Amino acid sequence: MRLNCHKNGPRIVIGGDYNTLFNNREPVIKYLADLGYEDTSGGEHVRTERALPLFFSHLDRIFYRNLRKMKSGVVDIGVSDHLPVYAEFEL
């Protein structure tokens, strides 16, 4: 898979459940970072699930490039084993 590798280019947001238990050591996280995508968590380990209480799992993430992040976070609304993540960007 090859994503936009240009320093400047279209604004791109990619979000999803990456099942990444070991934060930035996961290959998919390193791959996106190598392509210039930023994680809205800023590299901080953010718990995004409630189903694995023995782990501090950062499963769900939002990556972006060519945008300025205004804010992001996690919301615990109690309806899923995954906590919804959100991000706001300046266009």
For residues 50 and 66, the model is more confident at 66
User: Average pLDDT, whole number, for the chain?
Assistant: 79
Residue 1: which pLDDT band, with cuts at 50, 70 and 90?
Answer: very low
Using one digit for the tens of pLDDT, what is the confidence trace for 5-29? 556 789 999 998 887 766 667 888 8
Answer whether 12's CB lies under 8 Å from 44's CB. Answer: no
pLDDT over 70 for what percent of the chain?
Answer: 70
